[in-house]
Amino acid sequence: MRRSLVAVVAVLVALLAGCSGGEQPAGAPGAPAGDGTFPVTVPTAFGDVTVPQAPQRVVALGWSDAETALALGVQPVGASDWLAVGGDGLGPWVTQRYTTPPQKLGTLEVDLEQVAALQPDLILDTRASGTRERHDQLAQLGVPVVGIPAGGENYLTPWRDQLRMVGAALGKSQEAARLQSELENRFAQARQQNPALNGATVVSGAKNTLGEYAAYVGRTGRVEFLRELGLVNSPAVEAVPTENFSVPVSRERMNLLDARVTIMQAISGNAADITGDPLWGTVPSVAAGRGIVLDDQALSNAFASSSVPGQLYALDRMVAPIAAAVAKP
């Protein structure tokens, strides 16, 4: 990224002459109207960002930023495919589709020349590494960059914050509030229909291609989804000190995956890598029939997306098996 920065900025100066907006110091005045009127100011971890007018060419770089924008009726011209869905980057859980597929962009590393060539007037990066270096490089392109929220952590922006920030930046706050209410109502309905979920412990984990297991900690999107259903992340997992998204589970500590229900998904692998693993069967909850392996890749990705569309899709397909598992002795 750094290598091409000077040239890219020069290109953008030519392309975006007259473009205004960008950061203001944190706390600067400016009401986040976000109801279709502009300018609008969005607070972020790197200060308040002002979007001067309704964006026409949005680049969505953060995890699920593109499908969040789409859910609000805005089609990005460039997008990152964090879940490696392929094609236009949209899985079947996204009901809104592109009329013109976006330029596919990088995830961990972004090619600034590619971004510049898209002539963006807004960059969304609400769920990404959240580093100052990444933000500053993007910000030098001279367009508003809406990064992670104040107090946010890398890749851990909660779905409500992402929806609120993207909605405000696009002037779609009312639509964002409607989507939030729709999803919250669906969670409430699921809790009401399945009271046994309330307080039941859960482990949400993954197995990678090296055969290593891990359990996600409470501040991740997957566990946030389960918590919305009334489930409680395993206290044993939460007790393991970590600053990462998950804690490793060694072959000798497979009991760490035990809970009232244990949910596992394969990362860049197949569900059979889990179900065929004798170690998986040694987990007490799995031996008791309370283990769930996500063998549908679309569902696994939707669950991981932590977007409104992804969670709605996952709700339709995960609540029943989770409730059935919890009900087992």
Question: Is residue 7's pLDDT more than 70?
Answer: no
Question: Is residue 102's pLDDT more than 50?
Answer: yes
Q: In what order do the strands lie in the sheet with 40-44?
A: 22-24, 47-51, 40-44
Residue 260 falls inside a structural domain: yes
CATH of the domain at 287: 3.40.50.1980
Average pLDDT value for residue range 186-198: 98
Task: Give me the pLDDT at residue 4, please.
Answer: 39
| pLDDT tens by residue, 40-66 | 999 999 999 999 999 999 999 999 999
> What is the C-alpha separation between 39 and 54, in angstroms, rounded?
8
| pLDDT tens by residue, 277-325 | 999 999 999 999 999 999 999 999 999 999 999 999 999 999 999 999 9
Residue 246 falls inside a structural domain: yes
Report the percent of the chain where pLDDT is more than 90: 84
In DSSP notation, 74-91 reads ---SEEE-TT---TTS--
Residue at token pair 């593109």: 66
Task: Give me the pLDDT at residue 154, please.
Answer: 86
pTM for this one?
Answer: 0.88
Query: In the chain, how many domains are there?
Result: 2
Crossing angle, helix 308-327 and helix 297-305, to 10 degrees?
Answer: 110
Residue 8 falls inside a structural domain: no
Question: Is residue 150's pLDDT more than 60?
Answer: yes
pLDDT band, very low/low/confident/very high, at 152 (cuts 50, 70, 90): confident
| pLDDT tens by residue, 241-260 | 998 899 999 999 999 999 99
Q: Which amino acid is at 192?
A: Q
Residue 268 falls inside a structural domain: yes
- Considering the domain architecture, whether residues 125 and 202 belong to the same structural domain is answered as no
- Considering the domain architecture, whether residues 91 and 210 belong to the same structural domain is answered as no
Q: Last residue of some domain: 180, 208, 242?
A: 180
Task: Give me the pLDDT at residue 27, please.
Answer: 33
Range(s) of the domain holding residue 260: 195-327
Average pLDDT value for residue range 130-150: 95
pLDDT band, very low/low/confident/very high, at 36 (cuts 50, 70, 90): confident
Question: Is residue 188's pLDDT more than 70?
Answer: yes
- Considering the domain architecture, whether residues 141 and 247 belong to the same structural domain is answered as no
Residue 24 falls inside a structural domain: no
Task: Give me the pLDDT at residue 21, please.
Answer: 39
| pLDDT tens by residue, 59-85 | 999 999 999 999 999 999 999 999 999
Residue 190 falls inside a structural domain: no
Residue 85 falls inside a structural domain: yes
- Considering the domain architecture, whether residues 172 and 287 belong to the same structural domain is answered as no
Residue 300 falls inside a structural domain: yes
> What is the C-alpha separation between 125 and 107, in angstroms, rounded?
10
Average pLDDT value for residue range 255-268: 96
- Considering the domain architecture, whether residues 82 and 166 belong to the same structural domain is answered as yes
What 3-state DSSP class applies to 150?
coil
- Considering the domain architecture, whether residues 151 and 270 belong to the same structural domain is answered as no
- Considering the domain architecture, whether residues 162 and 208 belong to the same structural domain is answered as no
Choose from 21-25, 208-212, 226-230 the range with maximum mean pLDDT. 226-230
Q: Which residues, including other chains, have CB under 8 Å from residue 62's CB and lie 6 or more apart?
A: 80, 124, 125, 126, 127, 128, 148, 157, 162
- Considering the domain architecture, whether residues 105 and 140 belong to the same structural domain is answered as yes
